[in-house]
Amino acid sequence: MKQILFLPKPFGFSVLLALVFLLQTSFAFANPAKYGLPDFSQLAEDNNQVVVNISSIKNVKTANAQAQIPPQFRGMPEELLRHFFGIPPERLKPEGDESTRKQPLSLGSGFIVSADGYILTNHHVIEGADEILVRMRNRKEFKAELIGSDARTDVALLKVNADGLPFAKIGTSKSLRVGQWVLAIGEPFGLDYTVTHGIVSALGRALPEDTYVPFIQTDVAINPGNSGGPLFNLDGEVVGINSQIYSSSGGSVGLSFSIPIDVAMNVYEQLKASGKVVRGFLGVQIQEVTSDLSESFGLEKPSGALVGQVYDNTPAKEYGIEAGDIILEFDGRSIEKSSDLPPIVGITPIDKKVKVKLMRQGKIKVLELRLTSLENSEQLASGNKQIKSNRLGATVEALSSDELKELSLPYGVRVVEVNKGPAEQAGVRNGDILVTIDFKAIQSVKELNQLLQALPKSRSLPMRVIRNGRSLFLPLVLD
């Protein structure tokens, strides 16, 4: 109930302002944890020793002036060298035809994860480096050994020859919540030990070509040089590694992305043990389940990862996963979005038997399987490819046996022209190969026409098509 405060006439305007101020301050101090802003000073002071500066250097061979002169003319008088070659003798280096200079490749950040000198940073910070230098907060410099690096998660592990180092407290990204305060320490543009703060903007972000990392999105100011630095929660625990930004200018615009520390530590343990990462591989092509598709598949709400294609000679094929299955759980973890599946598969040990809960033609099934290694697989599954899903208003044509063989398909018909009607509304395009409607095979143009007459109307039906070599499902509603 809204309340209005009436004041007697003797109360002046200044008294009113004072009263409002007292009310506001007493309200704020009554619950400072809820309404006050955090003080990051102690957190920054406690953790600045664990953050390091990382410089990567490339040894570049350059031709000396001497090497530009044919051997038969070397040793000629200075005047002739200037006249014929334009090279002052003082630039000549008699010790050899080539010299090596150190060319800086990149400047980044990292953080110490153990007292004996293990350091985590980004793969892109040290990629291609011949030499890696680590500078501590006390200005001591070390040459670092690259233990291993994983491009798929953008995580690298370094080692310096030192003991008794301060090291970061590792937390978990699983407990993060949107709106939670976070802090970054790094070296933006080479400015030592810069502290920036913000909040968690989103969790589980899937970025193009980063299928195996469910990024933490924040509005923390991250700039070139912050890469590889830690993201802390208010308890002083590392919850992420700052990795990427979205920017049209190259500077921070409040869209920063960090690798969850749980993903990074999985990579850390593997790199420390063997110098490489073994990642689980299932062997499916997946797509998002839209609201239209969820209705056509009989789901209560859009969720799961829809299997568009199963590759040959993969665990998915061996253990019975089929195109059209919707994977709802993998190894006990719920799959809400299609982008949830690849990171979970990637961190699953290949020797572990896991249960997969899926929906097939309206029925729940549970399969048990073992994964193989992604690195040993010839065919790759991707969860972030752009796949968009007939009663037909379309012209179709038959495919020859040679065309079917080239497409590795047992049957199907090609769409020649899409007109107004169900095909257009479903998203069918010229050149699409229609394979099934409502899980019923389309083996000829005649069979397609017969099937269209028999299918129910005014209900969304899953239609599988092959587009540019990729299998996808479209929600078809017949008039």
Q: Which of 106, 109, 149, 154 is catalytic?
A: 154
Q: What is the DSSP letter of 374?
A: G
**Residues 242/227, Cβ–Cβ less than 8 Å:** yes
Q: How far is CA 123 from CA 38, 100, 272, in A?
A: 32, 25, 15
**Could you give the CA distance from residue 116 to residue 288 in angstroms, rounded to a whole number?**
45
**Could you give the CA distance from residue 133 to residue 111 in angstroms, rounded to a whole number?**
13
**Residues 169/175, Cβ–Cβ less than 8 Å:** no
Number of CB atoms found within 10 A of residue 153's CB: 25
The neighbouring-strand residues paired with 158 are 119, 146
At residue 109, what is the residue type? S
Q: Tell me if residue 331 is catalytic.
A: no
> Where are any strands of DSSP class E within 113-180?
118-121, 131-135, 141-143, 145-150, 155-159, 169-170
Helical H runs in 31-128? 32-35, 41-47, 78-85, 123-126
**Could you give the CA distance from residue 156 to residue 123 in angstroms, rounded to a whole number?**
5
Q: Tell me if residue 123 is catalytic.
A: no
The neighbouring-strand residues paired with 244 are 257
Helical H runs in 351-412? 401-407
Q: Which of 55, 56, 109, 124 is catalytic?
A: 124
**Could you give the CA distance from residue 239 to residue 227 in angstroms, rounded to a whole number?**
15
At residue 342, what is the residue type? P
Q: Which helix (H) or strand (E) holds 267?
A: helix 261-274
At residue 291, what is the residue type? S
- Token pair listed for 29: 């101090």
Q: Which of 227, 296, 389, 471 is catalytic?
A: 227
**Could you give the CA distance from residue 175 to residue 476 in angstroms, rounded to a whole number?**
40
Classify strands 131-135 and 118-121 as parallel, antiparallel or unpaired: unpaired
Q: Tell me if residue 154 is catalytic.
A: yes
- Token pair listed for 408: 């590795």
**Could you give the CA distance from residue 179 to residue 203 in angstroms, rounded to a whole number?**
10
**Could you give the CA distance from residue 202 to residue 225 in angstroms, rounded to a whole number?**
23
User: Annotated active-site positions, please?
Assistant: 124, 154, 227
